[in-house]
Amino acid sequence: MALFLQYIANALWFHEKDCVLKINKHGFGIIAIELLLLVISCFAISVFSVAATAACILFFVLFVFTVYFFRDPERRIPDGKGIIVSPADGRVVEIVQEREDQFCDKEMVRISIFLNIFNVHVNRMPVAGSVRFIRRVQGRFFHAASHKASLDNEQTMVGIETGEGVKILVKQIAGFIARRIVCYAKINDGFSIGQRFGIIKFGSRTDIFVPVHTRLNVVVGDKVHGGTTILGTYEQL
């Protein structure tokens, strides 16, 4: 089934520049169910022509969209000292300096990235390092582009410490449509820069807290790509 879905994804027009396309495993179950419903509705056309045709079209659209949503492209990760890559695809909606008390315990710069339903929803590590902090918070489901989403929405926080001792926090935040956050990371796990650590399903937001002296390369309104866009460079300790 996985190979079949991979073939479907590559046969469709879904492609990304400088990457190899694949489907995230967390989409296989949903895609398989939709494919089954599509096949059943197509066979039913001969008996219930009008209703079955409408159902067939509906399930086909859902199937194509879901395959597109769960695409998980391989990315060419940049290399360089002190670089911080984007943890998600999307659009930068906020850049503010504020105190981060959960993990870093000091003033940080928060970069908030809004993911619409057409963005890749796989999250990637912004730096190489070890996971030192994980906290899952139950919350509400405000629109992910809203400032309130960062404070009140359901979220998973992942704190990473680099080899130089620099601390960075990433928040996976559920949005109005999203209802499930998947995080692969565990305490003391080591990750390379750009490595996958989770996925948020169907529209969401990702916040990243970086040191205040980070030289930023992005501004509000910029489109970013997880694992490839360099958000900034932090000072070596």
Which token pair is 174? Answer: 């559920």
Rounded to 5°, angle at Cα 200 from 195 and 201: 135
111 and 149 share one domain: yes
29 and 118 share one domain: no
Query: Mean pLDDT across the stretch 11-33?
Result: 54
Which token pair is 15? Answer: 């492609």
Q: Is residue 209 part of a domain?
A: yes
So what's the pLDDT on residue 71? 85
Please tell me what DSSP assigns to residue 141: -
So what's the pLDDT on residue 4? 47
62 and 96 share one domain: no
Q: Is residue 88 part of a domain?
A: yes
Q: Are 211 and 233 in contact (CB under 8 A)?
A: no
103 and 51 share one domain: no
Q: Is residue 75 part of a domain?
A: no
So what's the pLDDT on residue 230? 98
Q: Is residue 157 part of a domain?
A: yes
pTM here is: 0.77
> Is 146 part of the annotated catalytic residue set?
no
Kindly report the average pLDDT of the chain as a whole number.
82
Which token pair is 2? Answer: 């996985």
Q: Is residue 77 part of a domain?
A: no
pLDDT in tens, 93-112: 999 999 999 999 999 999 99
- Residue 160 is inside which H or E element, if any? strand 155-161
Q: Is residue 119 part of a domain?
A: yes
- Of the residues 41, 112, 150, 204, only one is catalytic, namely 204
So what's the pLDDT on residue 11? 45
pLDDT in tens, 29-81: 666 666 666 666 666 665 556 666 777 777 777 777 777 777 888 999 999 99
How many domains does the chain contain in total? 2
Question: Which residues lie closer than 8 Å to 108 by C-beta, 6 or more apart?
Answer: 97, 98, 99, 100, 169, 209, 210, 211, 212
Containing structural domain, residue 42: 2-69
With cut-offs at 50, 70 and 90, classify the pLDDT of residue 5: very low
Q: Which amino acid is at 125?
A: M
pLDDT in tens, 169-204: 999 998 766 567 899 999 999 999 999 999 987 668
Considering only residues 140 and 113, tell me which one the structure prediction assigns the higher pLDDT: 113
32 and 103 share one domain: no
Q: Is residue 229 part of a domain?
A: yes
Where residue 132 sits, what CATH number does that domain have? 2.70.70.10
152 and 193 share one domain: yes
Considering only residues 205 and 147, tell me which one the structure prediction assigns the higher pLDDT: 205
Provide the percentage of residues in the chain whose pLDDT is more than 70.
70
Q: Is residue 74 part of a domain?
A: no
With cut-offs at 50, 70 and 90, classify the pLDDT of residue 224: very high
